[in-house]
Amino acid sequence: MNENEKFKNSFNFKNEDFFDIVDLTDIKTGFSIKKKMKPEGYYSLFKFFIRENETDNEKYKPIFIRVSYGKMDSNGSIIVSSSTDKIKTWKSPVDLISKDDFFYDPMNVIFYDRHKNQIDANDILKYIYKLHIKPTKLFSGFFLRNELIFFHKIMPDVLKAIYHVLASVLYLISGTKVAKTSLWNPKEKIIKKDNISNDTNQKTEFKREKMEIFGYKGSFGSIIFFVGLHFIFFLVFFTFNYRPRIITTILNNGFLTLIYTISVLSLIELVLPKILEYLIRKNSELFLYFSFKEIKL
**pTM assigned to the model:** 0.69
CB atoms within 10 A of CB 77: 12
User: What does the pLDDT look like over 5-60, one tens digit per residue?
Assistant: 999 999 988 766 788 899 998 888 999 999 988 888 888 999 999 977 655 566 78
User: What does the pLDDT look like over 115-125, one tens digit per residue?
Assistant: 999 999 999 99
Answer whether the bond into residue 39 is a cis peptide, omega within 30°: yes
Q: Which pLDDT band holds residue 210 (cuts at 50, 70, 90)?
A: confident
- The DSSP code sequence of 245-295 is HHHHHHHT-HHHHHHHHHHHHHHHHHTHHHHHHHHHHHHHHHHHHHHT---
Find, among 23, 20, 34, the residue nearest to 69 by Cα.
34
- As a whole number, mean pLDDT of residues 165-172 equals 91
> Residue 170 in contact with residue 277, Cβ under 8 Å?
yes
CB atoms within 10 A of CB 117: 8
- 122: amino acid identity, one letter: N
